[in-house]
Amino acid sequence: MNEKVDWFFEKDTPWQKEYKYLRKIILACGLTEELKWGVPCYTWQKSNVVLIHGFKEYCALLFHKGALLANADGLLIQQTENVQAARQMRFTNLKEIMERESTIQATIFEAIELEKAGLKVPLKKTKEFDVPVEFQEALDKSPDLKAAFQALTPGRQRGYLLHFSQPKQSSTRTARIEKCTPKIFAGKGWNDR
């Protein structure tokens, strides 16, 4: 146990019992407990394996390379279509966690073996992401915008493409593009300050 993480398990939350039980299961698997992204993250030789986090409807284990796990029991969930590597195992109560303890442990040990083997999730390249029509039109109209966008890191480019693609309405996509254009020229990601 890492005392820097204790506050997470002591804070008043509807998932407090579930968090504590998940912590016990994970630590029994021999992982190192750290605090990353404001939540308990468990590592093997400094490589992220799994973290605990919670939402309104459920608490979850997030396996960083979950896309590579066998998922024989069908418990691993891809959060959204844009999440490439991580998979969640969701729980709505303590009883559910206790009933699935052996499956949770087996999945953790499988995730550790992935790390030991040095396996990586093959990620889509930036050029494989769809460019929304509205953004392609903006790029075609402005060579300066196109050059500024191409100068961004691949991660920032992907961030913008995902951000621009999310809205269902064209007008919302256009508004996002207009709002983000100054950030693109400044070399920043869409959520950079």
Checking if the pLDDT of 128 tops 80, the result is no
Supply the pTM of this predicted model.
0.71
The dotted CATH code for 6-117 is 3.90.1150.200
Mean pLDDT of 95-116: 94
Rounded to 10 deg, the angle between the 101-117 and 16-27 helix axes is: 50
* pLDDT of the residue at 167: 86
Q: In the 8-state DSSP scheme, what is residue 2?
A: -
Band of residue 80 on the pLDDT scale cut at 50, 70, 90: confident
Pairing of strands 87-91, 59-63: antiparallel
| Token code pair at residue 19 | 């968090």
Burial environment of residue 155 by CB neighbours within 10 A (0 to 12, 13 to 18, 19 or more): exposed
- Strand, helix or coil at 35? strand
Mean pLDDT of 168-190: 92
Checking if the pLDDT of 72 tops 80, the result is no
Helix H or strand E encompassing 158:
helix 154-165
| Separation between Cα atoms, residue 20 and residue 40, nearest integer Å | 11
Instruction: Dihedral sign for Cα 91, 97, 102, 108, please.
Output: positive
Q: Report whether 92 contacts 56 (CB < 8 A).
A: no
Mark 49-84 as b/e (b = at least 16 C-beta within 10 Å): bbbbbbeeebbbbbbbbbbbbebeeebbbeeeeeee
Checking if the pLDDT of 40 tops 80, the result is yes
| Separation between Cα atoms, residue 150 and residue 131, nearest integer Å | 13
Q: In the 8-state DSSP scheme, what is residue 31?
A: P
Mean pLDDT of 50-78: 90
| Separation between Cα atoms, residue 173 and residue 38, nearest integer Å | 31
Checking if the pLDDT of 38 tops 70, the result is yes
Domain with CATH 3.90.1150.200 in the chain: 6-117
